[in-house]
Amino acid sequence: MSCSGVGASVTVPAISTSFLFPSSPPQSPATPQPLLSPDHAAALLDRCSTARSLLQIHAAVVRCGLQQHPIVNFKLQRSYTALGRLDRARSLFGLTPEPNVFFWTAIIHAHAVHGLHGDALLFYSKMVACGVQPNAFTFSAALKACNLAPGMALHSQALRLGLDRDPYVGTTLLDMYARGGDVVSARQLFDAMPSRNLVSFTAMINWYAKAGDLDSARALFDQMGERDAVCWNAMIDGYTQHGRPGESVALFRQLLKSSVKFNEVTLLTVLSACAQLGTLESGKWVHSYIESKGIRPSAQLGTALINMYSKCGSLEDACSVFDKITDKDVVAWNSMIVGYAMHGCSQKALSLFSQMCALGLRPTDITFIGVLNACSHAGLVSEGRDFFHSMREVHGIEPKIEHYGCIVDLLGRAGLVEEAYELVQGMPIEPDTVLWGSLLGACRLHQNMALGEKIANSLVEKGLANSGTYILLSNIYAAAGNWEEVARVRTSMKDRGVQKEPGCTSIEVDNNLHEFLVGDKGHPRSKDIYSMLEELNVLLRAHGYSPQTELVLHDLAEVEKERALGVHSEKLAIAFGLISTQPGTTIKIVKNLRVCTDCHTVIKLISRITGRKIVMRDRNRFHHFVDGSCSCGDYW
């Protein structure tokens, strides 16, 4: 086939007339044909929004002999592409005699945006072979289909044609290099641009944010005079995705003071940031803002609210949002099941799972993470085994590493450490460090020193050990009083540059987040905090509390061990909450590590002594302390 189409190297299906004409009785030759001008046909195509209407217009175009009119033909191809019928757009292109650069650009763009990158580049190559010179829009379309290698070749062509400084081409080149991981080249292009527009700034900010270089992204963001919602979203999402949720929320507050209208993506991102922080007041503020603007939450936004409330400790609010979602999809059900599980409401999680299945919704792999966690937090070993086996046998879902992690955690908590180890040994996929850490934690909990030592040493030898591995091994030795081995492990950590993650607890008071480390004295109200701790210690001992000094895994005197236990970060945060809030107010804290048994015992007693409800989110789950008891039933 010549260049009056796509060429012999691209297979083009022959266009069939059967789809051009709707079924109708043939007209008599004497019946006058309705007249359709090119302008009228073009206007109809511009307003066309359904495939059925497009077929009818196309039929009329053919009847009136307008199918080769350049504008009508072009708009027909573009309309088929917009409605997802790329096959028909491609067929029409194949019948176009001597297509010009606009036709070529449109068909290249159509394939690029539909993810058919190889076909898009093939069309580009054929266009060049036919002697049609690409313009700036052609390069922009083709570059969307490129990774680094073909993209650099197109960059060379753009340089030869003098199109590299066109703002469209420059921005697409920038995006291509950034997508390929070459952010340095992308930045060089950005700096060389004679005029930078909103799109080029946003592209650069977006890729800096994705790469985790948030300071460079923010520096560009602050330079911008004009910003739209896409640009704000890129920066807010960058902070959320890379562990700086506080800055994400602060930037959202700044956005609300501007004239830019945010969208649902903005709300989804900032709600995720609130969930990371565990700051209920901030999350409620975002929710109230949504309601004040009359925004009716979609299923996706409703799910984000459920997730935020669950992770911020308000299961009641999460349930309220869930109940108000009229058209719940499986993602919404999953979020509520996971929410119940992390709060220790295992039976409610399993009941919700049954309701979901009864409605005909198919569970997903995420559903079973929630269900298995619910079983793990309640010690429902036989139920957990049954759910795990039903994934493949009943629902056709192949267990992933996360599901094996859940079942290993379930068995380990229940003391079935050897069974958990055998399961890991027989896994069809390679266990990760999270799974090994869960098993090591079970070895420490149930004092299986031999197996714990075996696992930890194996991980060290294979180069898979992380800080948690060394800490757990050190703690296993310390619990057994083997201080020589403790010293050896800690020396090894120092030699390998492995650092222990410090325990940190945060509390939100009056929309301000306060963070505490163990023994922290840097807070402005530190004197009042420690004074409150002393008062609490007197009351705790009066209620029969005795410090669990065996948990201090250092070779210290008994008095020093008691002092070390007394200044754990969660105790400091609770003391601050007691002096900073009204009597009877619920205290909510978030800890980055698992709560120790001494702090768990102390917090139960504080809830009884003060009459306060205390909600703690640690690394594993939520604990609700009320009148001397915890929702976990002391099983965590």
Nearest Cα to 51, choosing from 6, 97, 88? 88
| CA 365-368-369 angle, 5° bins | 90
Rounded distance between C-alpha atoms, residue 506 and residue 378, angstroms? 27
Rounded distance between C-alpha atoms, residue 328 and residue 333, angstroms? 7
Instruction: Using CB atoms within 10 Å of the CB of residue 298, give its burial: 0 to 12 exposed, 13 to 18 middle, 19+ buried.
Output: middle
Q: How confident is the model at residue 496 (pLDDT cuts 50, 70, 90)?
A: confident
Q: How confident is the model at residue 554 (pLDDT cuts 50, 70, 90)?
A: low
Question: Is the pLDDT at 33 greater than 90, yes or no?
Answer: no
Element (H or E) spanning 449, and its range? Answer: helix 449-461
Mean per-residue pLDDT over the chain, rounded: 88
pLDDT on residue 553:
57
Nearest Cα to 42, choosing from 78, 18, 15, 17? 78
pLDDT on residue 21:
35
pLDDT in tens, 162-209: 888 888 898 899 989 988 888 889 999 998 888 888 888 998 999 899
| DSSP class per residue in 375-413 | HHHHT-HHHHHHHHHHHHHTT-----HHHHHHHHHHHHH
pLDDT on residue 209:
92
**Residue 89 DSSP SS3:** helix
Q: How confident is the model at residue 117 (pLDDT cuts 50, 70, 90)?
A: very high
pLDDT on residue 23:
40
Question: Is the pLDDT at 38 greater than 70, yes or no?
Answer: yes
The DSSP call for residue 100 is -
Rounded distance between C-alpha atoms, residue 254 and residue 185, angstroms? 31
Report the side by side order of strands in the sheet with 512-517: 512-517, 504-509, 587-591, 614-617, 622-626, 629-630
pLDDT on residue 556:
61
Rounded distance between C-alpha atoms, residue 220 and residue 201, angstroms? 7
Show the tokens assigned to 27: 């007209």
Show the tokens assigned to 499: 């650092």
pLDDT on residue 466:
80
**Residue 344 DSSP SS3:** coil
Contact (Cβ atoms closer than 8 angstroms) between residue 444 and residue 428: no
Could you give the domains of the chain? 1-133 (no CATH), 196-327 (1.25.40.10), 403-495 (1.25.40.10), 504-630 (no CATH)
Question: Is the pLDDT at 237 greater than 70, yes or no?
Answer: yes
Instruction: Write the CB contacts of 604 (distance below 8 Å, at least 6 apart in sequence).
Output: 625, 628, 629, 630
Q: Kind of pairing, strands 587-591 and 504-509?
A: antiparallel
Instruction: Using CB atoms within 10 Å of the CB of residue 28, give its burial: 0 to 12 exposed, 13 to 18 middle, 19+ buried.
Output: exposed
Rounded distance between C-alpha atoms, residue 325 and residue 190, angstroms? 45
Instruction: Using CB atoms within 10 Å of the CB of residue 282, give its burial: 0 to 12 exposed, 13 to 18 middle, 19+ buried.
Output: buried
Rounded distance between C-alpha atoms, residue 232 and residue 266, angstroms? 8
pLDDT on residue 138:
94
pLDDT on residue 68:
86
pLDDT in tens, 21-31: 334 444 444 44
Question: Is the pLDDT at 10 greater than 60, yes or no?
Answer: no
Element (H or E) spanning 504, and its range? Answer: strand 504-509
Identity (one letter) of the amino acid at 105?
Answer: T
pLDDT on residue 269:
96
pLDDT in tens, 341-390: 999 999 999 999 999 999 999 999 999 999 999 999 999 999 999 999 99
Q: How large is the angle between the packed helices 569-580 and 526-542, nearest 10 degrees?
A: 100
pLDDT in tens, 592-632: 988 988 899 999 999 999 999 999 999 888 999 999 999 98
Question: Is the pLDDT at 222 greater than 90, yes or no?
Answer: yes
CA dihedral 38, 43, 47, 51 (to 10 degrees): 0
